[in-house]
Structure formats: structure tokens, C-alpha cells
Amino acid sequence: MNTPNIEIPTRAPSATATDDTVMPFEVAKLDLRGRVVRLGPVVDEILEKHAYPAPVAKLLGEAVVLTVMLGSALKIEGRFILQTQSDGPVRMLVVDFTAPGKVRACARFDKARVAAAIADNTADGSGLLGKGHFAMTIDQGPDTSRYQGLVALDGGTLEDAAHEYFHRSEQIPTRVRLAVAEELRAGEGGASHWRAGGIMLQFLPKSPERARVADLHPGDAPEGTAPHAVKEDEAWVEGRALVSTVEDLELIDPALSSERLVYRLFHEPGVRVFRASEIRAVCSCSRDNVEAMLKSFSQDDRDHMVENGRISVTCEFCSATYVFAPGEVGAKD
Ligand SMILES: [Zn+2]
């Protein structure tokens, strides 16, 4: 088959940084594809409302970037949910992405253990998570089956868990970088704002020969069986080396556009960018949903929720509070 001769216009990378976007890109010469996530007001709104201790907020911010990165790549209708459950000071992270661009997130943690980790200087991503598992769920509505991918959290970071997932489940060579930081702005009385960013790079060759990856280690193979090894493709070795040079600051710098970032990395082989999509911090909770949930509880449970003559429910994701008179939801005064 002849390759159609289509002229792809080339231009200089845009200097304008746009927050709260995901930009896909392609490095055709190296069979690489990827996306850059830049979050400003979205991640600031989510993390500010929760007012978690800073290391917990930072970790949740990383989970938000990763979820946006993966969820926006799925081209599905519906929800993509990333969830961790582990034995560290942060017991659970939940990030809920609804296509095409809504995100909400929350964490559950042990206050005393987080404070102890901060005091011990172990409150980084891996120290806060500990061991457990990392699950990704695709929910396309009540009449469809839910897909779930599960990998072990083994004392590593969220980046490690993402690499493990793509290696084991998808068998796609993948590198992910995530960064979150608080930015202090002059002139706002010392107010700080959260910023976050990330880049994902995947090796997706068109020819099956190049797509070969090593089989997973044969756990039940007879002793002495050599693990299957395939020499890594040079294009992937180059791509991975380039993406490992990305600094945290480059991922969150409001003055560096996503286009300039990928141009900085891949100007030699050449990089093509696609239209960026927008991300918004939106929660799906509503008074109607909360009312329906309360009505689904047993009479006894509803009666026990009455405090000072009313029932009050706070959304764990966005901290919105819904107040009901007991009679509204069939509870006794
Ligand atoms: Zn909510």
C-alpha cells in the first residue's frame, strides 16, 4: 500500500502555556506516543478544599495527574477510577475521572501516622502509601461490565505502580513522570497555589517485529529456565532516556508551554502535537443523589443520623454539605 503523501504543516511550538489541559503528541520517527498534563486551578481547587497535610495533598495531586493522563487516553464515555488501598499512613486515594474532562479526588489517611512520617522525613509518595494495591476501573454505565486492572503497591511510588501496570497488563513499554508543588506568588500576601504536571511516553511500533517485548517471568517454570529476554528497541531506549531528563520544575512551570516541553525533548526526531483537551474540577454529587442515598438506608440507620434535629451529609470529594429535615428523607425527628 502506498503511503499517501500528506503534507503536515510545521510551525514553531506555542510559547503560551495553557493550564488544565492534556496534550497528546507523537514522535513518529521513534514510534513513540505520549501526553502532557498541565494542571493549575483544577488541582489547586481540589487540594485547597480538602486542606489535607501538604505531603498527602502532594500525593493526591500526583494521583490526579496520573488519572487525567490515563483516563483522557481511553476515548470512552463514562468513568475511569483510580484507587489505592494500602497499609501506609495514607490508606486510600480515590480519583474519579468522567469523560471527556471532569475530575474529582479524595484521600483517607491516619492523621497521627502522617504527622509521624512528616517528623521522620518519610512522608514521600512511597513512604505514605506503603504496601497494598492499585486499581483502575472503567465504568461505562449500569448495563456494561466494569473493567478492572489491578497491580500490587510494593513500597514504591505511583509512577512505579503505573510502570508495573503497563508492563504486566498491557505489555506496552511506558514511562510516566509526575510532579506536584506549591507555588508561592508574590503580591498575594504569601498565598500559595498547587500546580501539577506530568508526561507519559509509550513505545507503540507499527511493525510486529519491533513490538516484541520480553515475556513475563515464568513463575512456575522448571528451575534453571532462563527468563525470556528481548533486546530493547533502540528507539525506545532513546525515548526513555529523553523523558528521564525531564525535571519536576519543567512539568509545573507556568511559563513553559506543553508544546515547548515536548519540542525541547524531541526536536531532533521531530514531534507532532494534537489538539489539547480541557480538564475541569467538577464533582458529580447533588442534593437529589444524596437524598436518594439516604432514602435507600434502613429506617434505623436514618434515625441514627439525626443530630440536633437535622441530617447533614458532607461529600467526601468536594466537601459540599447537604442538610435535610428528618421528615424529608423519612427519618423520625
Ligand atoms: Zn461532591
Using one digit for the tens of pLDDT, what is the confidence trace for 75-126? 778 899 999 999 999 999 999 999 999 999 999 999 999 999 999 999 999 9
The rounded Å distance from CA 134 to ligand 1 centre is 23
pLDDT of residue 128: 97
pLDDT one-digit tens code per residue, 305-329: 999 999 999 999 999 999 999 999 9
pLDDT at 217 over 60: no
Buried b vs exposed e over 152-181: b needs ≥16 C-beta within 10 Å?
ebbebbbbbbbbbbbbeeeeebbbbbbbbb
pLDDT of residue 170: 84
User: Half-sphere exposure of 275 toward its Cβ, with a 13 Å CA cutoff?
Assistant: 2
The rounded Å distance from CA 283 to ligand 1 centre is 5
Are residues 140 and 76 in contact, defined by beta-carbon separation less than 8 angstroms? yes
pLDDT of residue 109: 98
The rounded Å distance from CA 315 to ligand 1 centre is 5
The rounded Å distance from CA 208 to ligand 1 centre is 45
The rounded Å distance from CA 215 to ligand 1 centre is 43
pLDDT at 5 over 90: no
pLDDT of residue 2: 57
Q: Look up the pTM and report it.
A: 0.89
The rounded Å distance from CA 101 to ligand 1 centre is 16
Give the lowest-confidence range in 47-56, 143-152, 170-179, 243-252: 143-152
pLDDT at 131 over 80: yes
The rounded Å distance from CA 320 to ligand 1 centre is 6
- Overall average pLDDT of the 144-164 stretch: 90
The rounded Å distance from CA 23 to ligand 1 centre is 27
DSSP 80-148: EEEEEEESSSEEEEEEEEETTTEEEEEEEE-HHHHHHHHHHT--SHHHHH-EEEEEEEEE--TTSPPEE
pLDDT of residue 143: 80
pLDDT at 278 over 70: yes
The rounded Å distance from CA 211 to ligand 1 centre is 43
Q: 93 is written with which cell numbers?
A: 486515594
Return contacts of 70-76, CB within 8 angstroms, 24+ apart.
Answer: 70/136, 70/162, 70/200, 71/97, 71/99, 71/103, 72/22, 72/35, 72/97, 72/99, 72/100, 72/101, 72/277, 72/279, 73/24, 73/35, 73/200, 74/99, 74/138, 76/138, 76/140
The share of the chain scoring above pLDDT 90, in percent, equals: 75
pLDDT of residue 41: 96
pLDDT at 208 over 70: no
pLDDT at 216 over 90: no
pLDDT of residue 185: 75
pLDDT of residue 55: 97
The rounded Å distance from CA 286 to ligand 1 centre is 7
- What CA–CA distance (Å, rounded) separates 175 from 9? 28
The rounded Å distance from CA 305 to ligand 1 centre is 19
pLDDT at 218 over 60: no
pLDDT of residue 330: 86
Residue 26 Rama label (left phi>0; alpha psi -120 to 50; beta): beta
**More confident position, 144 or 130:** 130
The rounded Å distance from CA 316 to ligand 1 centre is 7
The rounded Å distance from CA 34 to ligand 1 centre is 31
pLDDT of residue 49: 93
Q: Is 325 helix (H, G, I), strand (E, B) or coil?
A: coil
Average pLDDT of the chain, as a whole number: 90
pLDDT at 219 over 60: no
The rounded Å distance from CA 9 to ligand 1 centre is 43
pLDDT of residue 206: 81
pLDDT of residue 141: 82
